[in-house]
Amino acid sequence: MSRPDRVVVHLASPALFVGASADGTGADTDVVTDEHGLPHLPRHRLAARLRDGADDALVVAPGLAGARDEVFGQAHSHGADRMLRVGHAVLGDGVRAAVARALAGRAEPMRSTLRRAVTDAYTTLESGIEIGPEGAPEPGRLRTHRVLLPGLTLTAALTWASPPNEEHWRLLARACLATTRIGLRGTRGRGRVDVRLAGPGGTDPHAVTLSLASPPGGDREGVFA
């Protein structure tokens, strides 16, 4: 079986991927969407969280520090020293193709109305009291937040500047396993995720990731060739 070519991000709780939506949703905190109104996780945010996960993985495997710097670059680098480039984490090809077809040829304002409906289908509004600079609630300051619904699965393509070795794969797999929260307000129960590596075919991403994360000499036979 081929080696993994993507990262799979499954949302286990509502997530705040804060940014500008295609048409605006009226929320105080909006969600980032593409030109079709579909929410996604920008590549730089995913890469940053994976590197944080790699840092956490080094607590039990400090010998992978060199692989971390090669895969992700040093100090959250965005330069040419990184081996790995991660794409935007997006919904499946079928969903994106169907939405693109539905919007094709539509004129305004119908096009904007449909885009907002697409965003609404994958998100919901939550409200809460604004917290002031001292950490206390601000009376009378109700704010709304657009959050992604739990249960969604997003995928991000992996691109390598040079061929990774077994240590690079081990480091990346452990970074995925250690990445359990993404998005704003993760400490308040938002953005719990399962992040795994996946490749062509029907192999279970969880099994693939655990196998790649295994120490040298672990049983990885049959996961990939």
In the predicted model, what is the mean pLDDT of residues 188-208? 89
Residue type, 182: I
Nearest one of 179, 145, 206, 173 to 14, comparing CA atoms:
145
Structure tokens at 84: 């790995």
- For residue 45, pLDDT over 70 is answered with yes
The predicted-structure confidence for 126-142, as pLDDT tens digits, reads as follows 876 656 666 655 555 67
Say how many residues make up the chain: 225
- Domain range list for the chain: 6-213
* pLDDT band for position 28 (cuts 50, 70, 90): confident
Give pTM, 2 decimals: 0.85
Q: Lowest-pLDDT range, 27-36, 40-49, 190-199?
A: 27-36
Checking if the pLDDT of 49 tops 70, the result is yes
Q: How confident is the model at residue 37 (pLDDT cuts 50, 70, 90)?
A: very high
Give the residue ranges of DSSP H helices in the chain.
43-57, 65-72, 93-103, 110-122, 166-178, 205-213
137 SS3 class: strand
Taking each helix axis as running N to C, give the angle between helix 110-122 and helix 93-103, from 0 to 180 degrees, rounded to the nearest 10: 160
- pLDDT tens-digit series, residues 50-96: 999 999 999 999 999 999 999 998 765 556 678 999 999 999 999 99
